[in-house]
Amino acid sequence: MSDAAPRLAAARAELLAKTPRCREISEERAEILNSGLAANLEMPHPIFLESGAGCRVVDADGNSYIDTSVGFGLHMLGHAHPEIAEAIRDRAGKGWMFGIHSTTQMTLAELLADASPCAERVVFCNTGTEATFYAMRAARGFTGKTRIGLFDGCYHGAHDYGMFVTDPASDPDAPQPLPMGHGVPAQIAETILLLPYRRPAAIEQIQARKDELAAVIVEGVQSSNPQPGAGEFLAELREVCSDTGVLLIIDEVITGFRVSYGGAQELFDVKADLATYGKILGGGLPIGAITGRADVMETFTGLSAKNGIFSGGTFSGNPLTMVAGSAAVGHLKAHPDIYPRVNGAGDRLAGAINGFCREHQLPVQMKNVGSMFHLFFQREQIDSSRDLHAREQTAEKAFYLQTLNRGVLVPGTQRAFLSAAHTDADVDELIRVFSESLLDVQADGLFVG
């Protein structure tokens, strides 16, 4: 490979020389600690982070990187924002876990209810995975029906009901589910209906199977495929769900407080029956939340309630998360100028990279919705995950190693984000690093198409 791809070999050698402690940690961990984060395992080179501030993170060897992961999208204000840090310090001095309800929950509940277009009630939990799991349970409890509609290319957390991918051999208009790894009972597939994303056939299937569908759940914007046209599809789903009596759940775990203060619902003017939240809502600490129509949310008020469901968790609504989330969301509410600035930065980044790729005839394109962005290594039009191919996998892997060596960290999932802490100069640096890295991959002859 060194003879065939000298620039890649040189970048790998530089990274190895710069990260001896990271390599040691990787070897030490292998003896005792399994990683539950696929995104870490997929990094082009083992990196272990020691600290972060603003839009930068520092690894165990002291190397600094511009961070486009920002906690997988949750640090909308950047790492270690001083207002959030102060709130955590102040709360820690008063005790940080009681189990019993604390005085800290109402502030964040009111902020979320004010921001979310569908929120008549709020329930807190600990993760986005819990939030989508409970939302599905509530939909089943409320309607008395079992099936939940999911879309190909979606991700709704790590519970069994979301652990399906599309069989690539299946009809694009009738995708068939395959379990994402072992351990997912085959019977679970009978409780979900996999639907084609952004295709008319999805609307037809919802109409045809309305009597068995409790709900349809959809990401506000698919993080793996951030399409500006996502809002048009959400509007179509809203109409068909209203017509058929199927509940619409919009998963705002990623898009909530990111694409706008009111999330995808506000950005696209679509109101869900239930919405799920996480990430940004917690100010960097673990959180999940379910909001929605009062009659559906009534299922959360206890097993004695009509159609009541069980929900609970020791750490749900814990004081540290509540104050961190209140500080983060409160700051976003007080500074509405953040959204046009950050979304504009995302549009500028995507525009520059797409223009560069066209100029140099590279089979690469960047998709973005505001500050959410994703690079795809192919020329062909991308509307859904079914349009993706892996012909440029070698070039893609080389690109991410080159960017890491140049001081830009992109998460292993390649689902990347900007934050309010990224300045115009940082975006300029991202454009430079991405462009130079693409040219190195091209010079090494690693593109095949």
pLDDT for the residue 219: 97
pLDDT for the residue 385: 86
| Mean predicted confidence (pLDDT) in 192-205 | 96
Q: Is residue 72 part of a domain?
A: no
pLDDT above 70 (res 315): yes
**Which residue pairs from 355-360 have beta carbons closer than 8 angstroms and sit at least 24 positions apart in sequence?**
356/431, 356/434, 356/435, 356/438, 357/438, 360/438, 360/439, 360/442
Strand order of the β-sheet with 416-417 is 365-369, 372-376, 416-417
Q: Is residue 190 part of a domain?
A: yes
The overall pTM is greater than 0.75:
yes
CA 269 to chain centre: 20
419 is written with which tokens? 């934050």
pLDDT for the residue 396: 96
Q: Do residues 186 and 210 both lie within one domain?
A: yes
CA distance 370 to 426: 16
- What residue numbers bound the domain in which 410 lies? 6-67+337-443
Domain endpoint, select from 280, 310, 334: 334
Q: Is residue 220 part of a domain?
A: yes
Domain endpoint, select from 334, 358, 385: 334
Q: Do residues 210 and 323 both lie within one domain?
A: yes
Contact yes or no for 354/126 (Cβ under 8 A): no
Contact yes or no for 290/134 (Cβ under 8 A): yes
| Mean predicted confidence (pLDDT) in 283-298 | 97
CA distance 23 to 30: 11
CA distance 160 to 220: 21
145 is written with which tokens? 């029906």
pLDDT for the residue 331: 98
pLDDT for the residue 37: 53
pLDDT above 90 (res 265): yes
pLDDT for the residue 54: 98
pLDDT for the residue 423: 98
Q: Do residues 207 and 227 both lie within one domain?
A: yes
pLDDT, tens digit, 9 for 90 and up, residues 28-79: 887 777 665 554 457 899 999 999 999 999 999 999 999 999 999 999 999 9
pLDDT above 60 (res 346): yes
Q: Do residues 375 and 408 both lie within one domain?
A: yes
| Mean predicted confidence (pLDDT) in 356-361 | 98
pLDDT, tens digit, 9 for 90 and up, residues 221-244: 998 899 988 999 999 999 999 999
Q: Do residues 365 and 216 both lie within one domain?
A: no
Q: Give the CA distances from residue 81 to residues 76, 118, 197, 262, 295, in Å, rounded to whole numbers and listed in that order.
A: 10, 29, 37, 21, 37
In this structure, what CATH number is given to the domain that contains residue 382?
3.90.1150.10
| Mean predicted confidence (pLDDT) in 85-113 | 95
For 86, other C-beta atoms within 10 Å of its C-beta total 12
pLDDT, tens digit, 9 for 90 and up, residues 372-418: 999 999 999 998 888 989 899 999 999 999 999 999 999 988 999 99
Q: Tokens 């009534």 sit at which residue?
A: 298
pLDDT above 70 (res 3): no
| Mean predicted confidence (pLDDT) in 123-145 | 97
Q: Is residue 74 part of a domain?
A: no
Is residue 307 classed exposed, middle or buried when 0-12, 13-18 and 19+ CB atoms within 10 A define those classes?
Answer: middle
CA distance 379 to 353: 14
pLDDT for the residue 304: 86
Q: Structural domain tally of the chain?
A: 2
